[in-house]
Amino acid sequence: MTHCGLYGKRESGMNRRNLLKALALVPLASSGAMVAANPATSRETSRVTSSVKKPRYAKRLQPGMTVGLVAPAGNSPEDQHIDFGVDIIKSLGFEVKLGSHLYQRHQYLAGTDAQRAADINAMFKDPDVDAIICTRGGFGTPRLLPLLDYEAIARNPKILLGYSDITALLNAIHLRTGLITFHGPMAGQAYSDYTVAEFDRILMGAEVPTPLGAPPPFAQRRGSAERANRITRFVGGRARGPLVGGNLTLLCTLMGTPFMPEFRGKLLFLEDIGESPYRVDRMLTQLWLAGVFEQVVGVVFGKFTDVVIDGPSFSIEAVIRDRCATLTIPVVRGLMIGHVDDQSIIPVGGMAELDGDAGTLTLLEPVLRA
């Protein structure tokens, strides 16, 4: 996740030219070397996992409810961009309450760590706030994780919606409290018709089973075919489990910390933006070496947008195929998850089924209470 919606890019600090030369000398799955070493085929693991929290459910959204806006990561350069986000949420039919530090800026952060964490804690404790939506991503959300009042959050379950850098917040809160959180659109973006429909269906509706991340309908005509939103089926089969995941860069950031998600028995979903294939390869390899692919029961790749390729390179498809196609669990790519205009909402902790043959993800149980 090179920039996650901010107006600048983070350099990796590595010698890209030398790395690309090295990669050019090492074939992927065709050599058999990387596949043979893949511990995921052994289905063994040595990582000890802690107990899983009982799921907690927020209230389903209804028109006229109050939505609190917070900026846990970066901020927009101008106040009018924040005002735009306020108007977006109002246009969806809700009242809006602003975080006390929503207009703060501290270099590339939306205020200090203490200010941003205080806004999140206050919104969960505020009885007048029914749901919380983040205004944007960027950088810095992992810095807040030790500052959150998880006991208060558990006592006051509310919808928390965001994606990109907000992945750290969604997964840490679910891990520590059991609250089902939601990976999806933020306030500081325009909502397409598809995204509005997904918002209404997942956060305001109650129908299950219901599809998650299905591509929008394509108007078929002679001489045309879907191009932008194709589903790639790497491994078939079906698997059921609670959903975990989000932005690949942020999940790797959480690895080895007290806020690392529980992966055993879960369906893992991943997305990212602005990453070169070699960086995606490196991050997937980190999950692979950490035993994540031994523990999950299925993998869903959403969109990897704005891919940066500036020299000899594998494709994102080739990297995913090499890292995952030898697994014995369903693996699918292409659902509407990530930095895209037509964006679905994925409940972190929601029970779902992945069908690797059909290329579908289906929510099986309610994720909100009336």
> Of the listed 3, 339, 344, 353, which one is catalytic?
339
How do beta strands 331-333 and 232-235 pair?
antiparallel
Residue 256: both structure tokens together: 């080895």
Active site residue 271: yes
Distance from C-alpha of 305 to C-alpha of 234, rounded to nearest angstrom? 19
> Of the listed 76, 101, 164, 275, which one is catalytic?
164
Distance from C-alpha of 220 to C-alpha of 27, rounded to nearest angstrom? 38
Secondary structure (H, E, C), 79-128 = HHHHHHHHHHHHHCCCEEEECCCCCCCECCECCCHHHHHHHHHHHHHCCC
Using the structure block, give the residue that is written with the tokens 């269906």.
Answer: 201
Active site residue 3: no
Active site residue 76: no
> Of the listed 271, 275, 294, 353, which one is catalytic?
271
Distance from C-alpha of 243 to C-alpha of 252, rounded to nearest angstrom? 17
Q: In 3D, which of 318, 319, 315, 311 has the Cα closest to residue 15?
A: 311
What residue spans of the chain are helical by DSSP H?
16-24, 33-36, 79-91, 113-125, 150-155, 167-177, 193-199, 248-254, 277-289, 292-295, 316-324
Distance from C-alpha of 87 to C-alpha of 273, rounded to nearest angstrom? 26
Distance from C-alpha of 66 to C-alpha of 131, rounded to nearest angstrom? 7
Query: What amino acid positions are annotated as catalytic residues?
Result: 164, 271, 339
